[in-house]
Amino acid sequence: MQWNLLDCTLRDGGYYTNWDFSNSLVQNYIRTMADLPIDYIEIGYRNPTQSGYQGEYYYLPNSSLMSLYQIVKGGPKLAIMLDAKNCNPGDVPNLLNDCRDIVKLVRMAVNPAKIEDGIALAKAVKQCGFEVALNLMYLSKAGDDYSFLSRFEDLENVVDYLYLVDSYGACYPKQVREAVKFAVDNLPQKIGFHGHDNISLAFANVLAAIEAGVDIIDATVLGMGRGAGNLRTELIIAYLAQVFDKPIDLSSLADLLETFQTMKNHYGWGSELPYIVSGLADLPQKDVMEWLGKKRYSTSTVVQALQGKQQNIFPNQTYPKLSDSATNLDLQNFKTCVIVGGGSTAVEHSNAISEFVSKQQGLLIHSSLKNAEVYAKAKIPQILCLPGREAEKLKRLSAEDLHNQFKGYVLSSSPRMTSVVPRELSEKTFEVEPITQIRDNSQIALMQQDSPLGIGLSIAQALNIESAYLCGFDGYPGGNEVEQELAMEVQDILEYFTTSNINIRVRSLTPTRYDLQQHSVYALLRN
């Protein structure tokens, strides 16, 4: 066997766990890797301090590195990754000086459009005494033009490994074979391949890379990794045992797989239809991971959005503007509203909330269906927001009940991710402008405008409401990357309303973790 194997489970898999893993899992994982023909174990990132919470394997304190080193000492070499987006050459000494005797290989993920930045970072890492790998992303976008690789012809003493990365999981074996062979034939560096499994070709692509003379390949346990995931470590190990007739004890790996299977059942990585569509269309899987992770959109909605993005076509069904319809709906005279979120406090304090809205002669705005049923019998005017897949959920509910409870249904203006409103409710469906205008036709922009709170506050803005109170926007006690992103989205919207020239005062009536002025609904009822 002429090639090496690097397992990057903790680093790539951290996108699902926010780089937090239990000590028992990590120790079991490291010991198992040390018993297998694994040459390098990439154990995470080293990053400068950033806002928000990221876990142990995003920052890798020296104590964590040392404890892992003690387990593998004399076995696989330890590797870490720097993200070129998050650090510059000046950061390198502080990031790496304390792990010179622990870590052997430092890798950097680099956008080919920013090769010079990556090279500058690589030079700084090499000066610290490490093996250096540059992971050049977006191989599928290169087509058959590999001229950009010529920049590395004279960098043999700077870059030890040059990786070709199928970031979108969109490559076919022929392209991988040709790209790797070109690099092997023309560059002094050892050549690596990192493949994603969107269209279930990660293994086939690795075999093509091996045929072309690749020097090192990446894999992860059960394919755990960003989006659809990667080449499965257990598959390439079983391949080694069979094809190269290597005596490998797979029993410890089998035990480890059981632990990771539980995680896979929870986080749901793997090649499912949205990832397949994104791979075939050569589209970033980051968007797909965010859409699915936030559970805001159904699988069919995500697939439709991906197909629309590929063709630059977006759902454009339009409805009357809420601001133009306020008079007909008798919604023009409200000064106060309460926007109901999906948190438990909206249920716990529902009686008080209903009484407060009634006392204020206000409007109750449901940001989703999550807690709407709790207020079904309240004798107060109510409106339902339809972010994401909420419109699809209406199909399962009685139209008569919905008509009785809600004065109207509100979506963000087109283009939007979805607009599947039941026909019988369409005459009571309206649009509001997003709180921030779409800057381009990007799906990220569409996702931002489809925020439940964003639509709720846009309703308040359209109706010239002066005081908007929140309930059930409790925030998240910690959690994973997705929960942090959702919390950040809410906080950004709140900051927009509190710092811009919008004449709406926003406060919370129930306990919240968001940075927001709070009032007790019970104190206001007493006044």
164 and 231 in a single domain? The answer is: yes
The answer to whether position 25 is within a domain reads: yes
Stated as kind and residue range, the H or E segment containing 373 is none
264 and 327 in a single domain? The answer is: no
The answer to whether position 313 is within a domain reads: no
Question: What pLDDT does 123 receive?
Answer: 97
Structural tokens at position 287: 């968007």
**What single-letter amino acid sits at 196?**
H
What is d(CA 192, CA 131) in angstroms, rounded to the nearest whole number? 14
Task: Return the HEC string of 268-336.
Answer: CCCCCHHHHHHHHCCCCHHHHHHHHHCCCCCHHHHHHHHHHHHHCCCCCCCCCEHHHHCCCCCCCCCCE
Question: What pLDDT does 301 receive?
Answer: 59
What is d(CA 498, CA 259) in angstroms, rounded to the nearest whole number? 46
The answer to whether position 406 is within a domain reads: yes
225 and 355 in a single domain? The answer is: no
336 and 252 in a single domain? The answer is: no
The answer to whether position 279 is within a domain reads: no
Question: What pLDDT does 118 receive?
Answer: 94
- CATH number for the domain spanning 28: value is 3.20.20.70
438 and 369 in a single domain? The answer is: yes
3-class DSSP assignment, residue 429: strand
Domain boundary among the residues 268, 301, 333 is at 268
Question: What pLDDT does 428 receive?
Answer: 87
198 and 327 in a single domain? The answer is: no
The answer to whether position 309 is within a domain reads: no
Could you tell me the end-to-end alpha-carbon distance of the chain, in angstroms, rounded to an integer?
A: 80
Q: Which residues pair with 398 in a beta bridge?
A: none
The answer to whether position 283 is within a domain reads: no
326 and 224 in a single domain? The answer is: no
Report the 10 Å Cβ neighbour count for 83: 17
The answer to whether position 505 is within a domain reads: yes
Closest CA to 275 of 195, 175, 169: 169
DSSP string, 49-110: --SS---HHHH--HHHHHHHHHHHTTSSEEEEEEETTT--GGGHHHHHGGGTTT--EEEEEE
What is d(CA 393, CA 390) in angstroms, rounded to the nearest whole number? 5
Stated as kind and residue range, the H or E segment containing 218 is strand 216-219
110 and 30 in a single domain? The answer is: yes
- CATH number for the domain spanning 450: value is 3.40.50
The pTM score is 0.65
The answer to whether position 69 is within a domain reads: yes
Domain boundary among the residues 232, 252, 268 is at 268
344 and 466 in a single domain? The answer is: yes
Residue 37, C-beta contacts closer than 8 angstroms, at least 6 positions apart: 1, 5, 237, 240, 246, 248
What Cα–Cα distance (Å) separates residue 250 from each residue in 184, 232, 237, 256? 32, 14, 8, 10
Across the chain, which has 527 residues, the per-10-residue mean pLDDT values are: 92 92 94 94 93 88 92 92 90 94 95 93 96 94 89 95 93 95 96 92 95 97 90 91 80 87 86 60 60 58 57 64 83 91 94 94 93 91 87 73 82 68 83 60 46 90 92 81 75 79 86 91 86
238 and 382 in a single domain? The answer is: no
Closest CA to 107 of 148, 49, 159, 147: 159
235 and 332 in a single domain? The answer is: no
- To the nearest 10 degrees (0 to 180), the angle between helices 202-211 and 233-243 is 50
Domain boundary among the residues 201, 234, 268 is at 268
Closest CA to 218 of 481, 13, 59: 13
| Phi, psi for residue 432 in degrees, rounded to 5 | -130, 150
Full domain range(s) for residue 188: 4-268
**What single-letter amino acid sits at 361?**
Q
247 and 394 in a single domain? The answer is: no
Residue 264, C-beta contacts closer than 8 angstroms, at least 6 positions apart: 222, 224, 270
**Residue 220 DSSP code:** B
For the chain, how many structural domains are there in total?
2
Question: What pLDDT does 290 receive?
Answer: 60
Respond yes or no on whether the N-terminal peptide bond of residue 434 is cis (omega within 30° of 0). Answer: no
DSSP string, 49-66: --SS---HHHH--HHHHH
Find out whether 340 and 375 touch, Cβ atoms under 8 Å. Answer: yes
